[in-house]
Structure 1
């Protein structure tokens, strides 16, 4: 039966609403009833559905891709047994990814993913393989272009918060570098063709760079964490530490087991057993799910909104095994964090630069609101807690100049008449209104904390490094409910920053650490 004009209008309205909710993309399942118990589409009917979709896409300025078409005759899982014999004879279900064509870079969907794991787990190599579209030679050829400093190239180890992007167009095709020419695509070229961009934050795996890794996890506001585990090494070194930080911040985790091409089967099996045991433990409470085919990738990405689910991929950067499944999963992965553009402008500074002929440039995450080129803003707090008025001279998103930036985007601002030496990480840009009182910075704040580990007892005047968003500063406990705190204790405590006042927001999560001591918490009240 052909679709009527009323059917097409209903479908158009439904898809439009879902696209708005999904910030420009939506995944639809075609071929199952709502209760998932009976099928009703033949192959011919399924093709008619796709033809109808093509008509609807024209008005919505969008495209779709059939990311997973499954003939149920090939499936033997428990869901298949529920189907009647008649419906199984020619029944088809499929998943369709619908994505709007962005008018410009400022409308592009972005998802940030922090890449963590022990040193030599293959983090930078995987990013090089995923984004460049070339396989590794087994000696780290794919990762060289990701290093930012000379000492990183010489040692082969990441020591800073690096970044790389992977773009997908509106038809879900990955935007990879052309292998024939050997030329790398610039970020501008990727973004000009992309409808969705995954921003990978490549974090250091060595123990001596742990504070940089924690800052990257808190300051870059990742929506997901990709934990890398070497199949030949297992859960060693900083792997458990990084997993613990992700769990403390409440960020969903996916695990990628690398180097399966060079790992003996018994060692690989031991690594998998140890990994699943840790994920199922009381401290993690995760449900490990091994992604072995396209159907698994689609279903896991759909249900990844549950913090308990933990997809596990087994890949090789040399042979390419498992890479297509991971890339398909990343293509379907939905944006989870909701940002509000109606709230006042609030931007956190993660990095500062001095650009010739431009001046001072700051990089960070736009938390709430929106901003235009030429708008007046406040930057601060300085060492005395004051905010200084300035003007936004230019906005860049993924190295592309844009006229406006919205909440949830990672952008860079060129600011007027401000020296780089006066700016530090953790400062904020806020909305400027001369009729409104100046914002206040806080030196003291109250937080509900949980001590994850401490070898002895924590008492008043105890000092630790506090990470809260882009803020990283030593703070001292000036008051607390209990006389002493030990591992596993929860309490309300009052912190005071040792050096500078900071701009904080109630409800923000924090991590404090000192040596092997670790704790997490949430800001409940701002004091003086």
Structure 2
């Protein structure tokens, strides 16, 4: 993978940017739990593989960090990976003007669960977000956006009732029964289902409004969809 291409395309699916991580800050209980949930989500979107771009800001700027900080960041990632049953299997370093950047590939140590990825596509107002919201929660919609707001979470999306970016949902099966999300906005609950379910169904909710057609195309062709 070319790090420049990855950064140019931004954070998505199983790609996460981390400028740096510090052991005395990011391994505290609250931060550690948040990072673990984030890593689980990235791994489920990557079929058991996540790629962390180190030394790059959330906005995609190459900052570069010192050798010591680079190694400490890897150490923190390794601790988080171990906690979620994964490990760093590859790390590629690159030197930039201000220090080091790199790609850390993290993979699940356990046998992957049965998992399918389903993408939505259709015209605006055809109910893509609504039906996915109903599927992941088991709730019926009320025709006023009760379930679509689980995916359309940005203020302007809620106000206009239109998806403006890709969003993701998941539900699972355990002992032959469906495991729905009670609160799809809770990262902790999503991580719990990903961890405990025997089978998983993930959804990529795309955009129907024409001005964001490129986003829809990215959501369909940029991921390994099983069904659409």
Range into which the TM-score falls when normalised by the shorter chain: 0.3 to 0.5
Question: TM-score, normalised to structure 2's length?
Answer: 0.48
Structure 1 or 2: more helix by fraction: 2
Q: Which has the higher contact order (CA 8 A, sep 6+)?
A: 2
